[in-house]
């Protein structure tokens, strides 16, 4: 899919909102696809794009992955065409621990990703806000978390708040929450979302026109 197509879908998603897209997903798929409301350095910024993933695990000093570092896995995850992608970080079982901050995630700005969805906390909200991309996470952290969780693998399926996200799935997040849409069904879900929006508008108009009982 071209960057122009992604920009069009991003604009449509921002207008429709997360709840409408979740309703549409429920009509097309039976699996859980919604994530409850998250925290952001700038909640006015919506996030949309295809997922690239890094799986976290609890830290162990005896595993070779303990010495790999975030940067190497980031490069593996984003590949040769990172612009517009959404970096998804799993929790590694510790959603209340920092999984990154303004320094580490400056790579997101440099490579022009759409932003970050983290199933953990992030540090340096002011710096992340200044970077200009959208960040959604479990809240702000103050302490480094590298002695509790470690990035373990890139480009694999991850679990975020009970939702399975595979590389290439489309992620949308706003102040209401987040939704994960399989790439192959993206247009169908958006078509259903337009129907949901029209049906809701019709229902509101009908309810507003109802006469109160005598």
Span 169-200, pLDDT tens digits: 999 999 999 999 999 999 999 999 999 999 98
Delineate the domains of the chain, giving CATH numbers in brackets.
3-209 (3.50.30.40)
Residue-wise burial string across 94-132, b where 16 or more C-beta atoms lie within 10 A, e elsewhere: bbebbbbbbebbebbeebebbbbbbbbbbbbbeebeebe
* Residue 206 pLDDT class (50, 70, 90 cuts): confident
Q: Which pLDDT belongs to residue 214?
A: 66
* Residue 203 pLDDT class (50, 70, 90 cuts): confident
Question: What is the arithmetic mean of pLDDT over 107-131?
Answer: 98
Query: Residue 108 phi/psi, 5° resolution?
Result: -60, -40
The yes-or-no verdict on residue 3 having pLDDT over 70 is: no
Span 10-68, pLDDT tens digits: 999 999 999 999 999 999 999 999 999 999 999 999 999 999 999 999 999 999 888 88
* Residue 202 pLDDT class (50, 70, 90 cuts): confident
Question: What is the arithmetic mean of pLDDT over 90-101?
Answer: 98
Higher-pLDDT residue of 144 and 208 is 144
DSSP string, 43-64: TT--EEEEEEEEEEEE--TTSG
Q: Which pLDDT belongs to residue 146?
A: 94
Q: Are strands 47-58 and 34-36 parallel, antiparallel or unpaired?
A: unpaired
């Amino acid at each position: 899919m071209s960057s122009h197509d992604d920009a069009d879908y991003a604009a449509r998603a921002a207008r429709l909102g997360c709840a409408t897209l979740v309703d549409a997903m429920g009509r097309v798929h039976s699996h859980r696809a919604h994530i409850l409301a998250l925290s952001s350095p700038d909640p006015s910024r919506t996030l949309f794009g295809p997922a690239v993933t890094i799986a976290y695990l609890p830290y162990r000093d005896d595993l070779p992955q303990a010495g790999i570092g975030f940067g190497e896995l980031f490069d593996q995850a984003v590949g040769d065409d990172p612009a517009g992608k959404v970096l998804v970080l799993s929790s590694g079982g510790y959603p209340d621990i920092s999984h990154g901050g303004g320094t580490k995630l400056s790579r997101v700005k440099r490579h022009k990703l759409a932003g970050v969805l983290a199933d953990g906390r992030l540090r340096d909200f002011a710096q992340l806000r200044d970077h200009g991309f959208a960040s959604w996470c479990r809240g702000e952290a103050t302490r480094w978390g590298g002695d509790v969780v470690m990035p373990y693998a890139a480009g694999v399926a991850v679990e975020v708040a009970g939702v399975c996200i595979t590389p290439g799935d489309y992620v949308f997040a706003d102040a209401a929450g987040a939704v994960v849409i399989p790439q192959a069904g993206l247009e169908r879900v958006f078509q259903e979302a337009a129907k949901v929006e029209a049906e809701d508008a019709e229902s509101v108009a009908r309810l507003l026109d109802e006469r109160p009982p005598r």
